[in-house]
Amino acid sequence: MINVNNLTKIYKSPVKGKNFFADLFNRQYKETKALDNVSFEIGENELVGLIGPNGAGKTTTLKILSGILYPTSGEVNIFGFTPFEKNYKLLEQISFIMGQRNQLIWDLPPLETFQLNKEIYKVSDADFKKAVGDLTALLKCEDLISKPVKTLSLGERMKMELIAGLIHSPKIIFFDEPTIGLDIFSQEIIRDFIKKYQIHFLATIILTSHYMEDVKRLAKRLIVLNKGKILYDGALKEIVEKYSKEKYVIVTLEKEIDQRKLTKLGKTISYSFPKITYKFDRLQIPEKINLINKLIPYIDLTIEEEPIEEIIKFLFKSAK
């Protein structure tokens, strides 16, 4: 449904020199390659997480996909349309929701912004009523929509941003850092909402975030960007299998035993009685478990995957 082919974006920004007149007639430009030959496809009703360090090109990707920005080269096709050609038929089905920028009017209640968007997107009275009803119910915020925006907390304002961006029932939504700056409790509400919205409205979603928790909870598929290039595109589960070379083995000891005996088994990550954590090469796990069974009296033993955060860090390091 969303087809991105060899997308490249080069930003040109003027460099200021010392001499104003020299600048004026012989302007120097600095080029930043924000996207470098990026290609991917996204199917209907998919929810894909787009992650990468600062400056990786995430926001640029979403801006091009939502028609705000022209690429330098490459194609984007969203069910037959090209977003930056600004065809209304396509744009009315898209929403671009940013956590950092807001469209609400500070002194007025959010309902006024909803009504403004109703006019822009030519939503009928009945559809508008239904959308406001459904969305406020999903976010449990019926009482907030008629309070002035300036009296709302950050988390409450984000809820209102979501409703404002979704009043026209878009089928494709690009969320750029929707949970940024929110407390853990509010983050959880937003995540929960995005999940429910996707299921309820069969929406297709791309989400960027710096919080791995967002991605882990919401996306089955991950696209990892670094310096404008795709480092990984695939299932979240597979990234663990492909890039994680080690696993953690956590042993709960029955009684205290000589530390030398414990360290003989391999690399210990931490030891504080009764818990000891080892890090072993995946391939050595059976052999190591065997040894532990022979040498260490324990009451519990669990094997855990390396946290996804660590794997991603490793991915970025090896890409440098």
Shortest Cβ 55–ligand ATP spacing (Å):
4
In three-state secondary structure terms, 121 is coil
Burial class (CB in 10 A: 0-12, 13-18, 19+), 2: buried
CB atoms within 10 A of CB 259: 11
Which does residue 187 touch among Mg ion, ligand ATP, none (CB within 5 to 8 A, set by kind)? Answer: none
Using CB under 6 A as the binding rule, whether residue 165 contacts ligand ATP is answered as no
Q: Are 139 and 188 in contact (CB under 8 A)?
A: no
Phi, psi (degrees; rounded to nearest 5) at 128: -65, -45
Using CB under 6 A as the binding rule, whether residue 59 contacts ligand ATP is answered as yes
Q: Please identify, using beta-carbon distances, which residue of 62 and 249 lies nearer to Mg ion.
A: 62
CB atoms within 10 A of CB 271: 15
Question: Scanning residues 19 to 48, which ones bind ligand ATP (CB under 6 A)?
Answer: 32, 34
Q: Please identify, using beta-carbon distances, which residue of 207 and 251 lies nearer to Mg ion.
A: 207
Which does residue 71 touch among Mg ion, ligand ATP, none (CB within 5 to 8 A, set by kind)? Answer: none
Chain positions contacting Mg ion, by CB under 5 A: 58-59
Which does residue 60 touch among Mg ion, ligand ATP, none (CB within 5 to 8 A, set by kind)? Answer: ligand ATP
Q: How many residues bind ligand ATP (CB under 6 A)?
A: 12
Question: Scanning residues 188 to 247, which ones bind ligand ATP (CB under 6 A)?
Answer: none
The first and second tokens of residue 266, run together, are: 């391999």
Radius of gyration of the CA atoms of the chain, in A: 25
Shortest Cβ 227–ligand ATP spacing (Å):
8
Q: Are 163 and 179 in contact (CB under 8 A)?
A: no
Of 268, 259, 270, 267, which Cα lies nearest the Cα of 296? 259
Burial class (CB in 10 A: 0-12, 13-18, 19+), 123: buried
Using CB under 6 A as the binding rule, whether residue 155 contacts ligand ATP is answered as no
Using CB under 6 A as the binding rule, whether residue 318 contacts ligand ATP is answered as no
Using CB under 6 A as the binding rule, whether residue 74 contacts ligand ATP is answered as no
Q: Are 218 and 194 in contact (CB under 8 A)?
A: yes
Question: Scanning residues 83 to 142, which ones bind ligand ATP (CB under 6 A)?
Answer: none
Per CB under 6 A, residues contacting ligand ATP are 11, 13, 32, 34, 52, 54-60
